[in-house]
Structure 1
Amino acid sequence: MTQFGVNFFPVVDPAVKTATDYYDETLRLIELAESLGFTQAQTVEHYFTPYGGYSPDPVTLLTAAAARTSRIRLATGAVVPAFTHPVKLAGKLAMLDHLSHGRLDVGFGRAFLPTEFEAFGIPMDESRARFTEGVEACRRLWTTEDLVWEGRFHRFGPVTLLPRPYQRPHPPIFIASATSTDSCAAAGTAGHHLQVVPSVTSAEQLASMLDAYRGAWDAAGHDPAARRIQMKFTCYLSADREEALQQGEFYERSYIDHMAVAVAPLATGDSADYPGYDTFLEKAKNYEFAASLAGNKVLAGDPDGVTAQLRSVREQFGEDLSFSLQFNPGGLAFARAATAMELFAAEVMPAFGQAS
């Protein structure tokens, strides 16, 4: 049975929707998602700009969601170890694991926006090393008593974290990877799960990333049945196909425009940890929704069309995928997002063995 979750990435202009309204609507949609049979709800960590800036602390939002739900899993997609001391981050996440009674999935990411690194006083070229150290430090804090940590960026101990996580030995760890085959292979070797976003890479590169991940997982002797690969999509769904496509084209263009503004400082710089960003603005300028739709980088249409897209994705990239879908991009009205979720649960989920 294919699992479907919901994703909340707030590409929202404050002039279009206030933070209060966005949080209220998101929590209502998470409650709805649980009632419809979606298995996970997740949100991101970003700062300052309309590109994700309404979610500077995913743990806070997910804690509120934990209080209003009882079954749906709650995921960070992702928290950024580079921006938080590992003792603080591991403690916050362990606490949420208890408040949710063991429903937490922890996705870790490197971050990539220049303004965020500048504000935290962290060189972007340290992002990979800080990420690797931060993930392992959190894992060790969750599992080791009297831990003494002697890392490149942090030194502490002996310490024993309280609370210990609700889930033992620790919550499931996901690694968010945008384009790096090496990061995917490292995640597989470590036995961590994977979060990927097809919209930010080519189909060929994504296939290479997944091959590297599965190969490293198997080579390390991990149970193939325990492996979890999650793909994230925006999803524009309506009984009226043309209406869904119009929504998709408008909000995907808004997403690309906001992302371009957020990464512009990096596109003119030179960072060893982020090669290729000098071409991003040109790609954003030439973005075409029709090509993105045809390449299954965005889901849009009526239930039959979206079902066909998901089947095509599984045929191309593997049957062991789960999906995290964003139904409320930008300033989309709550009622439209809720209707799309209800339609997905009623007419798309059953095609993949999941009843609403």
Structure 2
Amino acid sequence: MKILNFSLMPYRPLDIPASKQYRSVWVALPNSFFDPEKGAYEYESYIDLLAQSEDLGFDGICVNEHHQTAYGLMPAPNLIASALIQRTKKVKIAILGRALPLVSNPLTIAEEFSMLDCMSRGRIIAGFVRGIGAEYHSSLVNPTQSHERFHEAHDLIIRAWTETGPFSWSGEHYELKYVNPWPRPYQQPHPPIWVPSQGSLETIEWAADPRRKYPLLVTFSSRDTVIKNLLAYRKQAKDFGYDPAPGQLGWAAPVYVAETDEQAIAQARAGMEALFNDYLNLTAEMLLPPGYSSAASMRKIMEAKRAIGRTGFGQGTGRQSIEKLIDQGTAIVGSPRTVIEKIRGVHGETGLGNFVAMLQFGTLPNELARKNQELFAQEVMPALRAM
């Protein structure tokens, strides 16, 4: 099993009580809540934490993209990836993910990833996503065109990486007279592509297609939903006529490990409950703007969201306690033995080969995040590698 360390880089100094007068910390929260001096400290702290991953033996470091939100301070994840390249030598750097439909020219993404791949000498993993519903409010991209723009952007990027230019591109959403990116990617034919998802039926079918066989990474979901979606990927692959490799199946979850279950719960409580109740408080229209998902996929997303707190479909349930999140398997918290057993259980049912641990979450302070990732690396990671 491959183990990666992931951070959302949330804005921890957020005045959470004051933010409650706004409907969400996404899109609608005034940026006067952001203090640049404190923000500079946050970036420095998060990059230091992630850079430590190489010395601790992680296989990869993960960053991602979100816009106009206190939930994550990475509107340009390529910049964070570039900083991490300079701080590390061997560890993989996964950009999970880059929201393809939000850009006006996907060639810029092909160029960005090629640069990073050359700078890192082939350590980049490319994560491609559509972007969650709130990003469509930020960008004013029509959500009904999300799937079309994603697929066309993907196809353009793959051609740009694998075919000698210049050539022209004339599509439904993008038109370019010259496609001839400099530089070319270091990895040939291109960096590996992963697909983070919360269970869209269309995404599972698309990622499992034999022409792609892209790893599916199930994120922010309950244990039962993770198993259901990974097994759905397995079934889809078999319907296509092949058995998926373990490396095509992945799970991302917030994790906190301490010497005992009681200590882990006490130390993780404030940060974990802030993540799911205060940073993930998406309203219904932000989460699922009209046309963003098919009816079948919307039902699956609604089921998943009920398990992760005060989203548009969970506001009537009150605040999510850490005990409930642990019981659902949405968060993994406990002693090394407990954490290993919980991950082993999902591995046993799905055969997953990639585990992405979010070891800093919500308002969790630096000292606890550092303690968490060090104990995880020392006590949990060796057991996971043996799976």
Q: 2:348 aligns with which of 315, 335, 351?
A: 315
Q: Does 1:26 align with 2:46?
A: yes
Report the RMSD for the aligned CA atoms in angstroms.
Answer: 2.6
Which residue is 1:194 aligned to? 216
Which residue is 1:4 aligned to? 3
Q: 1-side partners of 2:163 and 2:98: how far apart?
A: 21
Q: 1:13 to 1:263 in 2, by over 3 A?
A: farther
Q: Does 1:289 align with 2:309?
A: no
Q: 8 Å contact 1:185–1:215 — kept in the other structure? A: no
Q: 1-side partners of 2:14 and 2:155: how far apart?
A: 40
The runs of 5 or more residues in structure 2 that have no matched partner are 16-34
What residue identity is the alignment partner of 1:165? Answer: P
Q: 1-side partners of 2:227 and 2:83: how far apart?
A: 36
Q: 2-side partners of 1:269 and 1:31: how far apart?
A: 36
SS of the residue corresponding to residue 167 of structure 1 reads coil
Q: 1-side partners of 2:246 and 2:130: how far apart?
A: 24
Q: Does 1:95 align with 2:115?
A: yes
Q: 8 Å contact 1:233–1:325 — kept in the other structure? A: yes
Moved more, 40-49 or 149-158: 149-158
Aligned length: 349
SS of the residue corresponding to residue 196 of structure 2 reads strand
Residue 126 of structure 1, CA deviation:
1.5
Residue 25 of structure 1, CA deviation:
1.6
Which residue is 1:184 aligned to? 204
Q: 1-side partners of 2:249 and 2:184: how far apart?
A: 26
SS of the residue corresponding to residue 111 of structure 1 reads coil
Residue 314 of structure 1, CA deviation:
0.9
Q: 8 Å contact 1:236–1:248 — kept in the other structure? A: yes
SS of the residue corresponding to residue 236 of structure 1 reads strand
Residue 249 of structure 1, CA deviation:
3.1
Q: 1-side partners of 2:243 and 2:123: how far apart?
A: 21
SS of the residue corresponding to residue 265 of structure 2 reads helix
Q: Does 1:339 align with 2:360?
A: no
- Per-residue deviation, residues 9-63 of structure 1 (Å, max 9, x unmatched): 12324447922222212221222111111001011101111112x1101110011
Q: 2-side partners of 1:178 and 1:117: how far apart?
A: 17
Q: 1-side partners of 2:106 and 2:287: how far apart?
A: 30
Q: After TM superposition, list the pairs within 5 Å mapping 1:205-354 onto structure 2.
A: 205-218=225-238, 220=240, 224-225=244-245, 227-266=247-286, 270-273=290-293, 275-276=298-299, 280-286=311-317, 287-316=320-349, 318-353=350-385
Q: 1:41 to 1:260 in 2, by over 3 A?
A: closer
SS of the residue corresponding to residue 196 of structure 1 reads strand
What residue identity is the alignment partner of 2:324? Answer: A
What residue identity is the alignment partner of 1:300? Answer: V
The runs of 5 or more residues in structure 1 that have no matched partner are none
Residue 161 of structure 1, CA deviation:
1.4
Q: 1-side partners of 2:267 and 2:172: how far apart?
A: 47
Moved more, 184-193 or 103-112: 184-193
TM-score by length of 2: 0.82
Q: 1:325 to 1:353 in 2, by over 3 A?
A: closer
What residue identity is the alignment partner of 1:60? Answer: L
SS of the residue corresponding to residue 357 of structure 2 reads strand
Q: 1-side partners of 2:227 and 2:338: how far apart?
A: 23
Q: 8 Å contact 1:143–1:170 — kept in the other structure? A: yes
Q: After TM superposition, list the pairs within 5 Å mapping 1:65-144 onto structure 2.
A: 65-84=84-103, 85-114=105-134, 116-144=135-163
Q: 2-side partners of 1:47 and 1:3: how far apart?
A: 29
Residue 272 of structure 1, CA deviation:
4.9
Which residue is 1:148 aligned to? 168
What residue identity is the alignment partner of 2:312? Answer: L
Residue 3 of structure 1, CA deviation:
1.6
* Percentage of identical aligned residues: 25
Q: 2-side partners of 1:284 and 1:247: how far apart?
A: 25
Q: 1-side partners of 2:189 and 2:289: how far apart?
A: 41
SS of the residue corresponding to residue 231 of structure 1 reads strand
What residue identity is the alignment partner of 1:336? Answer: L
Q: 2-side partners of 1:285 and 1:13: how far apart?
A: 26
Which residue is 2:26 aligned to? none
Q: 1:139 to 1:269 in 2, by over 3 A?
A: closer
TM-score by length of 1: 0.89
Moved more, 150-159 or 65-74: 150-159
Q: 8 Å contact 1:40–1:72 — kept in the other structure? A: yes
Residue 168 of structure 1, CA deviation:
0.2
